[in-house]
Amino acid sequence: MNDGASAFATALALIVSGDPEFLGIVGLSLGVTLTAVLISCVVGMPLGALLAVARFPGRGALVVAFNALMGLPPVVVGLLVYLALSRSGPLGALGLLYTPAAMVIAQTILVTPIVAALTRQAVADLNAEYDEYLRALGADRVETIGTLLWDARFSLATAALAGFGRASAEVGAVMIVGGNIAHVTRVMTTTIALETSRGELALALGLGIVLLAISLGVNAAVMGVRTQAERVGHA
């Protein structure tokens, strides 16, 4: 059972056999992470664009705050979300602790600053170039932000992929608020951590291989986005 080679063989068998429990864990992971990334993009991209374009008191402090939040330790986020969602916490009545929703909330908090900060940087660079042209056209605030977001679309795709990469590899926060309950909140990273500590290497290894493939896929997608941007002369 502790033999590495036989664990690896069992892991491969798990992947190719389409074991329902295995697939359930992978599916839940992707579902939670994709939902969190989607919410982060919907919130973080307009926010990042606004921070890039608007001039208001405290904007500089907000930019610094978002850049700092990019490096937020996941376990701290997990702890804070736990405190908020626990039965005696301010949102305890919602009963979300140890549900996929709690994991989505924690990952959204982790990913939104990344998406917002990367969006702000890309949009600010573009705005430096477009500002006078758009003002000369008489574009209003909404038209300006819309133009900048669309023209930064390749950078925004990269920002979303960076957020997805961070969320899918994250353990600490989802462990604390999700709890790794079988068939309810078991995701790849937490399962790997727990199964490994229990010496159940086959399942851990199988999930590790899938996680590695996702990570490679994200990197390939980032490169693909970059190549496409250069190919169409939009870089």
**Residues forming the site for other proteins (CB under 8 A):** 129-130, 132-139, 143, 147, 150-151, 232-234
Residue (3 or 129) nearer to other proteins, CB = 129
Residue (5 or 132) nearer to other proteins, CB = 132
In whole angstroms, the minimum distance from the beta carbon of 231 to other proteins comes to: 9
Residue (2 or 132) nearer to other proteins, CB = 132
CA atoms within 13 A on the CB side of 76: 6
C-alpha dist (Å) from residue 112 to 79, 107, 193, 230 = 17, 8, 25, 27
In whole angstroms, the minimum distance from the beta carbon of 229 to other proteins comes to: 8
Give which of 148, 162, 154 is closest to 37, Cα–Cα: 162
Residue (35 or 147) nearer to other proteins, CB = 147
Question: How far, in whole angstroms, is CA 74 from its chain's centroid?
Answer: 12
In whole angstroms, the minimum distance from the beta carbon of 123 to other proteins comes to: 12
In whole angstroms, the minimum distance from the beta carbon of 145 to other proteins comes to: 13
DSSP assignment of 125-180 equals HHHHHHHHHHHHHT--HHHHHHHHHHHTHHHHHHHHHHHHHHHHT--HHHHHHH--
Residue (125 or 200) nearer to other proteins, CB = 125
In whole angstroms, the minimum distance from the beta carbon of 232 to other proteins comes to: 5
Q: Which two tokens stand for residue 13?
A: 């068998």
